[in-house]
Amino acid sequence: MNAILKTSPPRPGAEAVAAKGWLAAHKWLILRRCSQLGILLLFLVGPWFSLWIVKGNLNFSYTLSFLPLADPYVILQSLAARQVPEKLALIGAAIVLLFYLLVGGRAYCSWVCPVNLLTDFAYWLRVRLGIKGSAHISRPTRYWMLGMTLVAAAVSGSIAWEMLNPVSMLHRGLLFGLGLAWAVLLAVFLFDLFVMRHGWCGHLCPVGAFYSLVGKLSVLRVRLPARAACNDCMDCFAVCPEPQVIRPALKAIAGTPPMILEANCTNCGRCIDVCSKDVFAFGTRFNATVAPVTGVPQAAPK
Amino acid sequence: MDNENKPSAAARRQFLADTARMACGVGLLGLGLGLYARHARALPPAAIRPPGALPEAEFSAACIRCGMCVRDCPFDILHLAKPEEPMSTGTPYFVARQLPCEMCEDIPCVKACPTGALDHSLKDINKSKMGLAVLVDHETCLNFLGLRCDICYRVCPVIDKAITLDPQSNARTGRHTLFIPTVHSEHCTGCGKCEKACPTEVAAIKVLPLYMAKGQLSSHYRLGWVEKEKAGGSLVAPEVQHQYNMPEGMQYEHGKGLSGSSGAVPPAPTPAAPAALPKALQGSKL
Ligand code: SF4
Ligand code: SF4
Ligand code: SF4
Ligand code: SF4
Ligand code: SF4
């Protein structure tokens, strides 16, 4: 393993590992995997050990018979199909909406969604196997998908997207029985592995597209307090699942403050991990006016 | 900014082509999805929705496939549909022949539903309409064959209301009675206990979704006897007394038959006998 690593060109993050140590260079990645697996486990101990901490699935769950959580996107589809849910589901959706308004819309993708484990694995394998070439589908296609699912709900009068949605296929499948859902998941995996880099999560998934809309306004942001220290190693671009979100903030394009404001940043924190110059850090979207000031002293010692 | 838009002609064409391609692709996917979803709205006959489920067309829009009902069913009868099953993926159902609904008094499945896809206004489980039991096979039902199986009747939680045993003469033997299990839609909840308990290899009585099981009279039909009862009397003009044209000395009275006023005519039959005979036969007795 190490031999391979040494002979191949340095992998993104190698510099950061050298500068900060392995653990610090993987901090957010590890936390993120713990979160994804932990949440999955909380759901699974119910059916596995009859330990009902959380009941339901990602569409609606009830934690300790106290905290209702509902996926606002599935509620939106239900509304599009002209059904108004009862209060509990609406409260659950409101809580989730507020939560992601705080922590970043697509934080759902990198910290909760089980499909992300699958697509991240496909990407990891893709890099390992040196699979080059990628089909071209533009990233905004996901918003068309989002619109399509809502139109399909309205026209068919049912939550049509649930018939295909890989996110609920996987999550519901693990909890209530997979059936042939594995075929849908395998298709997503193979698509990401062979056909398109970051294909599903980065271009097509309407769930991610929905949460990115929440992310337009969300509070928690990746900030770039030290963007002047960037040495153009490009490691952040290499690891970011949505690399297009970094450039405006990093290169101050069109006066962008040192903060990733693009809705599709998943707040995965991987850029923070792999940057040997500690350009990135989590922060809030407020005190944006203070940001240039923090940027100045960083630039000065250079 | 403007300069960036300069090489537009070709780029814009490319952009438009890309957009069109994408829109078509997504549109096609949407079309397929919509058709698939519509198709799946026809619930297969063996799949019965939990108590209080909205009518199918509304249910597939209201149910968010969360499985809370499945989790809170103490008898674990409910499943969420898997993608290969011919109904809306992720929606709850049960198969009566495997495990019927136990008709819990507090209806935990309905209480657990966060969306109202299982209607919270259902408070009395006896009022639920999950489906309707139908004695589908008159050839194999043991009671139809003249035996006294009666199991579907005995297990019914709404016994004597939802299901009764209606006596009919056994034409095969000519002297026995068939006790025909008869389901009354007004009271049957569709719990499926009868179907589960039917001892034949394949159940002769089955719970079907209401839309399949229940017929409907044309709206202009009236049941004469019902109308008469409602009106408290005959609705047509007063019945005219029929005039019989009889030989002299004879008279005919409806229900009693012929009788004569003179001793030469045979006496009228004893009152007991005609009561046991169909009316149509009473005349020919003479
Ligand atoms: S884009 Fe979709 S599948 Fe990917 S992580 Fe986000 S919600 Fe999950
Ligand atoms: S910018 Fe950073 S936090 Fe945002 S998605 Fe990319 S790697 Fe993750
Ligand atoms: S009434 Fe009871 S047995 Fe029937 S589906 Fe509901 S919880 Fe289950
Ligand atoms: S609890 Fe309600 S919304 Fe959830 S699966 Fe059951 S019927 Fe559907
Ligand atoms: S389904 Fe069968 S057992 Fe249940 S109420 Fe109807 S007749 Fe009775």
Per-residue pLDDT of chain A (302 residues; tens, 9 = 90+): 444 444 556 678 788 788 888 888 899 999 999 999 999 999 999 899 988 999 999 999 999 888 999 999 999 999 999 989 999 999 999 999 999 999 988 999 999 999 999 999 999 998 888 888 788 888 888 999 999 999 989 988 889 899 889 999 999 999 998 888 898 899 999 988 888 889 899 999 999 999 999 988 889 988 888 888 888 888 888 889 998 998 888 887 888 888 888 889 999 999 898 888 888 888 888 865 434 434 334 433 33
- d(C-alpha B178, C-alpha B168), whole Å: 5
Pull the structure tokens for residue A261. Answer: 């404001």
Q: Tell me if B68 CB under 6 Å of ligand 4.
A: yes
Residue B272 has pLDDT above 60, yes or no: no
Average pLDDT, chain B: 84
The mean pLDDT value for B83-91 works out to: 88
CA distance A102 to chain B (A): 25
- Look up tokens 């610090």; give the residue: A24
Q: Which residue has the higher pLDDT, B238 or B155?
A: B155
**Given pLDDT bands bounded at 50, 70 and 90, which one contains residue B2?**
very low
Contact yes or no for B43/B56 (Cβ under 8 A): yes
Contact yes or no for B205/B97 (Cβ under 8 A): no
pLDDT (0 to 100) of residue A287: 65
Nearest to B195 by CA among B136, B139, B143: B136
CA distance B72 to chain A (A): 9
- Minimum Cα–Cα distance from B89: chain A residue: A163
Residue B74 has pLDDT above 90, yes or no: yes
The mean pLDDT value for B192-206 works out to: 94
- d(C-alpha B254, C-alpha B47), whole Å: 55
- d(C-alpha B64, C-alpha A60), whole Å: 8
Closest approach atom of ligand 1 to CA A114: 8
Closest approach atom of ligand 5 to CA B189: 5
Which mutation among B75, B119, B189, B196 tests ligand 3's pocket best, with the greatest number of atoms within 8 A of CB?
Answer: B75
Alpha carbon of A14 to ligand 1 centroid (Å): 27
- d(C-alpha A2, C-alpha A14), whole Å: 13
Q: CA-CA distances (angstroms) from residue B8 to A42, A69, A84?
A: 53, 47, 46
- d(C-alpha B24, C-alpha B114), whole Å: 36
Residue B195 CB partners (closer than 8 Å, separation 6+): B96, B97, B100, B133, B152, B203, B205, B206, B207
- Whole-model pTM? 0.80
Pull the structure tokens for residue B163. Answer: 């299901």
| Strands B176-183, B163-170: pairing kind | antiparallel
pLDDT (0 to 100) of residue A297: 40
pLDDT (0 to 100) of residue A108: 94
Nearest to A155 by CA among B176, B60, B279: B60
Nearest CA to ligand 4 atom 1: B113
Residue B165 has pLDDT above 60, yes or no: yes
List B165's β-bridge partners, or say none: B181
List A143's β-bridge partners, or say none: none
Contact yes or no for A175/A114 (Cβ under 8 A): no
Residue B18 has pLDDT above 50, yes or no: yes
pLDDT (0 to 100) of residue A289: 44
- Taking an 8 Å cut-off on Cβ atoms, the answer to whether A177 and B82 are in contact is yes
SS3 A242: coil
Give the Cα-Cα-Cα angle A48, A211, B40 (nearest 5 degrees).
65
**Given pLDDT bands bounded at 50, 70 and 90, which one contains residue B239?**
low
Q: Tell me if A226 CB under 6 Å of ligand 1.
A: no
- d(C-alpha B215, C-alpha B224), whole Å: 19
Residue B205 has pLDDT above 90, yes or no: yes
Decide: residue B7, CB within 10 A, 0-12 exposed, 13-18 middle, 19+ buried: exposed
Residue B99 has pLDDT above 50, yes or no: yes
- Taking an 8 Å cut-off on Cβ atoms, the answer to whether A61 and B66 are in contact is yes
Alpha carbon of A62 to ligand 4 centroid (Å): 12
pLDDT (0 to 100) of residue B85: 86
Give the Cα-Cα-Cα angle B219, B221, B224 (nearest 5 degrees).
145
Nearest to A108 by CA among A39, A52, A172, A161: A39
What whole-number percentage of chain B has pLDDT above 90? 49
SS3 B134: strand
Contact yes or no for A54/A65 (Cβ under 8 A): no
